[in-house]
């Protein structure tokens, strides 16, 4: 009988493949940390750019003097003075995307501040897509009990 076949059993399992569940489960704590590190390390520390790849700003001679030379004139902003901003960043997973936020109050009145500082560059979006694709495959394999 068809109901007793392996094919029937597998087809029934496909009803458990919900895109929304795969999406939410893809964002493990380690994936969230990786995303934040794309911003903290790659975009801000290494390049000083926002999600569009635009340089946020450059340190002045006055900043070099105030920071006792830790921030050199002409170097790009990293937004990592005390580490508080980097530590304050978090990710909220929504049904149709993610929200990246942090404690930006001290910076919002600065001429250089814009919300795209907390976004991912195209390069980092591509990296994220690959990570999420792997998680979707893991979800499907687990749900269908493949392996």
Of 50-54, 96-100, 117-121, 141-145, minimum mean pLDDT range: 141-145
Q: What integer pLDDT is reported at residue 20 of this predicted model?
A: 79
Q: What integer pLDDT is reported at residue 76 of this predicted model?
A: 97
CA distance 81 to 79: 6
Of 52-66, 111-125, 129-143, minimum mean pLDDT range: 129-143
| pLDDT (average), residues 112-134 | 96
Average pLDDT, the chain: 90
Model confidence pLDDT, tens digit, residues 56-83: 999 999 999 999 999 999 999 999 988 9
Phi, then psi, of 123 in degrees rounded to 5? -60, -45
CA distance 117 to 93: 18
Count of CB atoms within 10 A of residue 131's CB? 16
Sign of CA dihedral 137, 143, 146, 147: positive
Model confidence pLDDT, tens digit, residues 19-63: 778 888 899 999 999 999 999 999 999 999 999 999 999 999 999
pTM over 0.85: no
């Amino acid at each position: 009988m068809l109901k007793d076949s392996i094919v029937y059993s597998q087809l029934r399992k496909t009803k458990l493949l919900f895109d929304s569940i795969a999406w939410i489960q893809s964002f493990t704590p380690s994936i969230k940390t990786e995303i934040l590190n794309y911003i903290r390390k790659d975009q801000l520390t290494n390049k000083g750019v926002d999600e569009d790849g635009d340089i946020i700003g450059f340190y002045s001679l006055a900043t070099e003097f105030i920071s006792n030379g830790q921030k050199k004139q002409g170097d790009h902003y990293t937004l990592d003075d005390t580490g508080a901003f980097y530590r304050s960043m978090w990710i909220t997973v929504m049904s149709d995307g993610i929200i990246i936020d942090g404690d930006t109050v001290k910076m919002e009145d600065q001429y250089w501040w814009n919300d795209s500082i907390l976004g991912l560059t195209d390069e980092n979006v591509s990296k994220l897509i690959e990570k999420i694709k792997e998680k979707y495959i893991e979800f499907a394999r687990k749900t269908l009990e493949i392996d």
